[in-house]
Structure 1
Amino acid sequence: MNRSQQSRTGFTLVELLVVIAIIGVLVGLLLPAVQAAREAARRMSCSNNFKQIGLGIHNYHSAYKQMPIQKSGTGLSMGAGNWWDGSNVTNQGQLSWLVGLTPFIEQQALWEQISNPNGYELVGGVQQLRTPPWPAMGPKPENTAYIPAMTEVPSFRCPSDPGTGLPAMGRTNYGCCLGDSFSKAEAGARNAQLVVNNGDAEWTRAGQRGAFVVHQKMAFRDILDGLSNTIIAGEMNTDLGDRDITTTATYNKNDATTGVKAVPSVCRTDGSVDPLRPRFWGPTTPTFTADRGANTGRGYRWMSGEHIYTAMMTILPPNTTLCYQGDWPGQEGIVPPSSRHQGGCHVLMGDGAIKFVTDSIEAGDQNRKMVEFNNVAPAPVPGAASPYGLWGSLGTRANKEVIQEEL
């Protein structure tokens, strides 16, 4: 038998290299598809979580004839003259809308920890007994020793957002909608002592046009534009410590003619954004997380009613700049929705539907002043159509604007 008639028992080196090369090409072709499938699954899970929140709001409304309140709670403590003062004996009326939802999204155990005196605290990350116990409804929701405030609720998180752990407290990826203006979004009709002030109430009626108004009971009957035409909540990224324009805010944009209230797009056009990396702030741009504490990032405190943590607005379109008029996270600023999904974010409509809104949604004139009580024409006066187009009109609850597009 000659050599050509002998059976072959293995591969040659060239054949092995060819097979390896083919496998490498196939993996390279399949990997993006696998990654896309994983993100599609995460996006669906995120939508399902938001749907659960929407059902929770409707069940809450069925029980109490109102939606949960943004900035509610046990009022001011004795000796604490203003709502922004810290307190261990009251929450200073600063609880977010998400707190009241907990028993309606299968978080009854967490609600019982919050709604009853709580005899445990975190010290150095270790749970210990506390004497005296925390009061019912907890301290002001900025205290890192209060265990419920440090708890991450799975239903409040989007799986596409990788943020976790310190320096955040319990994170959330969902915020209530405050409408198309931040005028009086900080305190609504109440003054520093949480007492209703007639002048502040007048400003609040003019500027706070969203489904939620801080410190105020709001119900479905207040949404005159129709539940299916009104955004009541939106998605948001949480901060990763990377100076992302959607997760930490720049501030002090308070000039009367060129500041953020007069020109909402100012933070995108005044050099604050890094021109080489347009998703991040420039190296010299001031930010809250750099200057006001690492725990002031977007979505960092699920129990806090401050809008940087648990709210959104329909002024700038999704995935644009967090831009503040004041110099502190508790003051007024623009907080657009955002997400880690490609091209847009989820919003929750009043009827419970979840819609995906793209970054390119028609958003009117981003260089036009927002609606405010003291505006004089041609600036948009109280009751005017939203200057921010379809996007702005979706965020107003009773402005009688016709929605002619299906999201």
Structure 2
Amino acid sequence: MSTPIRRRQGFTLIELLVVIAIIAVLIALLLPAVQSAREAARRSQCVNNLKQIGLGVHNYHDTWNLLPPGENYGGLSPHLSILPHMEQQALFSAFNTGINNGGGLWTFAENFTALRGRVATYSCPSEVYSDRASDGYDTWAANYAWNSGTWWPRTQSWDGVFGRVMNDGDPALQPFSRAEISLAKINDGTSNTLLVAEVAAGPLVSSAGRTRVSDCYEVRGLTRTSTVDQATAAANAIDWARGPIAWAGGWRYKGYPWVEGSIWRSWFNTILTPNKICATMDDQSWWYIMKPASSYHPGVVNAALCDGSVKAFKDSVNQQVWMGLSTRIGGEVISADSY
């Protein structure tokens, strides 16, 4: 008597759909964890970058007994000044720093090759605009900006940790002398004073779509005597998706080029707390800019203090605490649990 042969049955359509659904659920559960792990790794690298920058500043100070020169339109940024103290002597030497026509050494053909050099330490891994500019000058941005203090027009004082070199051409201001500052002049204490913080770079091309974090927008109704509350309210009211970009759509290259020392390219101030919208009074130029620290890390920006330590500051940090952390001689009493 022959034994009947049983045929092996395959998956039914319903079973196949169930398996696919289970796989989809697993992916949905795992994907946020993977993305979170990747962001944690990027943030860790960002912290390490800031530690290296802080070390470079301290090495510079050990050599010259001064911090690098401060805000200086057309002149050198601290990014460039500290290169020899970050094992980047070859790149620093490639720049001809002895030429300047008031527009910046980066405008000279002799420096075009050096401008293409990239310092990986100056780039946050979470940055969106991480390539070279594709129009204008062929150069990189820096994602880390230097502490210029509260806000120049309101305080009439360059109260950060770097001495200002010149007045950016504002006819209402008196010329500044070259006045580098030593760490000993930071009366508020190096552990209570910001040195350098993240600032998201601007779009690489003038035709790029506008963004909340990277662009800078015109804000109406502010004056040099505007209060912190007025400035914050005006910045919060900006309709960034439709409102005018600062300077009629020009000057979008925030952070470009990294070698140039103007506030637009290399500095931040604290009249606005982290990740507020960058704003400028009406259509005025960069000496009236409110340029906050900013990043693509969810809810925080990383910043190095003058003692070389690095901390994450929440977007919700108290306004007065944030401003107090940016002054070198403000006398504010700030405890570690304030932020």
Task: Give the TM-score normalised by the residue count of structure 1.
Answer: 0.69
Provide the rounded CA distance (Å) in 1 between the counterparts of 2:224 and 2:104: 35
Deviation at 1:54, TM superposition (A): 0.5
Deviation at 1:107, TM superposition (A): 1.5
Counterpart position of 1:64: 64
* In the alignment, structure 1 residue 224 sits paired with structure 2 residue 155: no
SS at match of 1:265: helix
Deviation at 1:143, TM superposition (A): 2.1
CA distance change for structure 1 residues 326 and 212 in 2, over 3 Å: closer, same or farther?
A: farther
Equivalent of residue 99 in structure 1, options 57, 80, 84: 80
Per-residue CA deviations over 1:160-197 (Å, capped at 9, x if unaligned) read: 0021222473210001101112239xxxxxxxxxxxxx
Deviation at 1:246, TM superposition (A): 3.1
Comparing 332-341 and 148-157, the one that deviates more:
148-157
Matched to 1:312, the amino acid is: F
Which stretches in structure 1 are left out of the alignment for 5+ residues? Answer: 73-82, 84-91, 118-134, 185-202, 275-280, 364-388
Q: Which aligned pairs between 1:290-329 and structure 2 lie closer than 5 A?
A: 290-293=248-251, 296-325=252-281, 327=283, 329=285
Matched to 1:333, the amino acid is: I
Deviation at 1:116, TM superposition (A): 6.8
SS at match of 2:231: coil
Counterpart position of 1:238: 201
Question: Which runs of structure 1 show a deviation greater than 4 angstroms over 4 or more consecutive aligned residues?
Answer: 135-139, 252-255, 257-262
CA distance change for structure 1 residues 288 and 360 in 2, over 3 Å: closer, same or farther?
A: same
Equivalent of residue 209 in structure 1, options 159, 179, 184: 159
Matched to 2:211, the amino acid is: D
Comparing 257-266 and 7-16, the one that deviates more:
257-266
The question of whether the paired residues in 1 share the 8 Å contact of 2:223 and 2:281 is answered with no
The question of whether the paired residues in 2 share the 8 Å contact of 1:306 and 1:329 is answered with no
Deviation at 1:6, TM superposition (A): 3.5
Deviation at 1:316, TM superposition (A): 0.7
* In the alignment, structure 1 residue 340 sits paired with structure 2 residue 304: no
Provide the rounded CA distance (Å) in 2 between the counterparts of 1:152 and 1:140: 18
Provide the rounded CA distance (Å) in 2 between the counterparts of 1:43 and 1:10: 48
Deviation at 1:26, TM superposition (A): 0.6
Counterpart position of 1:391: 322
The question of whether the paired residues in 1 share the 8 Å contact of 2:280 and 2:286 is answered with no
Matched to 1:101, the amino acid is: I
The question of whether the paired residues in 1 share the 8 Å contact of 2:246 and 2:280 is answered with no
* In the alignment, structure 1 residue 49 sits paired with structure 2 residue 19: no
Q: Which aligned pairs between 1:16-55 and structure 2 lie closer than 5 A?
A: 16-55=16-55
Provide the rounded CA distance (Å) in 1 between the counterparts of 2:101 and 2:115: 11
Deviation at 1:308, TM superposition (A): 1.8
The question of whether the paired residues in 2 share the 8 Å contact of 1:308 and 1:329 is answered with no
The question of whether the paired residues in 2 share the 8 Å contact of 1:178 and 1:210 is answered with yes
Aligned residues: 314
* In the alignment, structure 1 residue 267 sits paired with structure 2 residue 234: yes
The question of whether the paired residues in 2 share the 8 Å contact of 1:326 and 1:333 is answered with no
Equivalent of residue 179 in structure 1, options 128, 143, 149: 149
Which structure is higher in helix share?
2
Counterpart position of 2:176: none
Equivalent of residue 140 in structure 1, options 86, 104, 115: 104
Matched to 1:100, the amino acid is: S
Provide the rounded CA distance (Å) in 2 between the counterparts of 1:237 and 1:362: 21
Provide the rounded CA distance (Å) in 1 between the counterparts of 2:14 and 2:228: 68
Matched to 1:57, the amino acid is: V
SS at match of 1:264: helix
Deviation at 1:328, TM superposition (A): 5.1
CA distance change for structure 1 residues 51 and 167 in 2, over 3 Å: closer, same or farther?
A: farther
Deviation at 1:38, TM superposition (A): 0.7
The question of whether the paired residues in 1 share the 8 Å contact of 2:247 and 2:283 is answered with no
SS at match of 2:16: helix
CA distance change for structure 1 residues 257 and 155 in 2, over 3 Å: closer, same or farther?
A: closer
Which stretches in structure 2 are left out of the alignment for 5+ residues? Answer: 166-178
RMSD between superposed Cα atoms in Å? 2.9
Task: Give the TM-score normalised by the residue count of structure 2.
Answer: 0.82
Provide the rounded CA distance (Å) in 1 between the counterparts of 2:3 and 2:42: 62
CA distance change for structure 1 residues 327 and 229 in 2, over 3 Å: closer, same or farther?
A: same
The question of whether the paired residues in 2 share the 8 Å contact of 1:43 and 1:159 is answered with yes
Matched to 1:246, the amino acid is: V
CA distance change for structure 1 residues 208 and 255 in 2, over 3 Å: closer, same or farther?
A: same
The higher relative CO (CA closer than 8 Å, separation ≥ 6) is in 2
Provide the rounded CA distance (Å) in 2 between the counterparts of 1:313 and 1:43: 22
CA distance change for structure 1 residues 115 and 147 in 2, over 3 Å: closer, same or farther?
A: same
Provide the rounded CA distance (Å) in 2 between the counterparts of 1:230 and 1:138: 31
